[in-house]
Amino acid sequence: MKVLVATEKPFAPVAVQGIKDVILDAGYILEVLEKYTEKSQLLDAVSDADALIIRSDKVDAEVLDAAKNLKIVVRAGAGYDNVDLQAATAHGVCVENTPGQNSNAVAELVFGIAVMAVRNMYNGTSGTELKDKSLGIHAFGQVGRNVARIAKGFGMNVSALDPYCPDEVIVEAGVTPVKDIKSLYADNQVVSLHIPATAETRGSVGYDLITLMPKGGVLINTARKEVIDEEGLIRALRERPDIKYVADVRPDRADEIIAEFPDRVFFTPKKMGAQTAEANINAGIAAARQVVAFLRDGIDRFRVN
């Protein structure tokens, strides 16, 4: 059995070693394809793979067609919007993710860029503090929960909106549940996005919600660029010179946005939220173990299709 790790953005070497140990221990072969620049490299490498471990790498019908022996794809991470689930199901391929394994890393980055925003991108002027500010968490999944935990250390007042999460879970975390999306934006000085990119959420955060934010509002996006309506974001930034937008997911028009609002936006050059040794080890090894559990014992506990 051949397991292929295909990561355009590689894991830390220590995580690759951990994956290798799990795969070799199970008696399988491991191939690693990193920093590939052409899709054809992935198509070649996957052609005889029985299992595939990826990060944000795109797995579409063409990749699945090329992967004649493929039985399972594990997205080492949370969001699986990069995998064509319908095509995978049609090809008889199981798709899994590794929920929670990289969520602390992403949550820590939220505060890395939140502090940067309230300190005016470190441009030398006097900024403000996170302490006593209100934070609205948009979706209370694994990352949102870690964000809440860290926010309390900063002394923030935390609330969260998540129609898929029972109120008790939110209350148990010492967070105030919010029922109405407009209130989430209108009542919080800082809003942090943790919604997945789905048909329902694509382009769902735009002008109307962003301009509801109170004076000096900071919108943080470590989720997906697709959930933002870029046109609406640009209009909101134009009309509300007090609002800031910081993101780990570069907008399509990032260069243009940076040029127009230099002191009010910040984007990491490449999605860095999950890019820590710890998150790579946790998600990578979990993915390798899930591959072995599936190929050897047919266990598909984290299946998403």
- Output 265 or 274, the one with its CB closest to ligand 3PG: 274
Contacts for 242 with CB less than 8 Å, ≥ 6 apart: 215, 216, 217
Task: Return the structure tokens found at 228.
Answer: 């933002």
Rounded CA separation 247/269 (Å) = 10
Map the footprint of ligand 3PG across residues 194-253, applying CB under 6 A: none
Contact between 273 and ligand 3PG per CB under 6 A: yes
Phi, psi (degrees; rounded to nearest 5) at 251: -65, 160
- Output 79 or 206, the one with its CB closest to ligand 3PG: 79
User: Which residue from 84, 34, 73, 23 is spatially nearest to 50, judged by alpha carbons?
Assistant: 73
Binding characters for ligand 3PG, 98-127, by CB under 6 A (x = yes): ----x-------------------------
User: Which residue from 81, 92, 112 is spatially nearest to 227, judged by alpha carbons?
Assistant: 81
- CA distances 174 to 37, 105, 145, 240, Å, are 45, 21, 10, 32
Binding characters for ligand 3PG, 50-89, by CB under 6 A (x = yes): -----xx--------------------xxx----------
**What is the smallest separation between the CB atom of 123 and ligand 3PG, expressed in angstroms?**
28
Contact between 276 and ligand 3PG per CB under 6 A: no
Q: Which of 121, 158, 220, 274 binds ligand 3PG (CB under 6 A)?
A: 274
Strands 190-193 and 176-177: unpaired
**What is the smallest separation between the CB atom of 257 and ligand 3PG, expressed in angstroms?**
21
244, β-bridge pairs? 218
Contact between 271 and ligand 3PG per CB under 6 A: yes
Contact between 141 and ligand 3PG per CB under 6 A: no
User: Which chain residues interact with ligand 3PG by CB under 6 A?
Assistant: 9, 55-56, 77-79, 102, 271, 273-275
